[in-house]
């Protein structure tokens, strides 16, 4: 029994949109520990800091964001964890 020769399959290339840091793109946006509304965007429901590969921040602004979140937690502007009610 002979196997039919088939053409080698080409890998489909998919276009991936290049992610741009929102703080690099818009110079009016500032990272401030007192701005809880902006900082909550970078936290999960459980209170964890969202990693850079998901949040689309560059390394410089991710470090600044992490520091601002930690300062806001220290000042009790953001929670360390979310309490769950059963």
- Residue 83: predicted pLDDT: 73
Reported as a pLDDT band with limits 50, 70 and 90, residue 1 is low
DSSP 16-40: -PPP--HHHH-TT----TT-HHHHH
Residue bearing tokens 């998901």: 54
pLDDT value, residue 69: 96
84 class by beta-carbon count within 10 Å (0-12 exposed, 13-18 middle, 19+ buried): exposed
Distance CA 35, CA 37 (A): 6
Q: Where are the domains of the chain?
A: 22-74
35-84 pLDDT tens trace: 999 999 999 989 999 999 999 999 999 999 999 999 999 999 998 987 76
Annotation: CATH topology of 22-74: 30s Ribosomal Protein S18 (4.10.640)
- Least confident piece of the model among 4-8, 23-27, 45-49: 4-8
DSSP letters for 38-56? HHHTTB-TTSPBPPHHHHT
């Amino acid at each position: 029994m002979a196997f039919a020769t088939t053409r080698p399959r080409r890998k489909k290339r998919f276009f991936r949109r290049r992610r741009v840091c929102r703080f690099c793109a818009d110079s009016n946006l500032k990272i401030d520990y007192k701005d809880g509304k902006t900082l909550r965007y970078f936290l999960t429901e459980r209170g964890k800091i969202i990693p850079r590969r998901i949040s689309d921040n560059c390394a410089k602004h991710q470090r600044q964001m992490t520091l601002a979140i930690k300062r806001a937690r220290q000042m009790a502007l953001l929670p360390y964890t979310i309490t769950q009610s059963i």
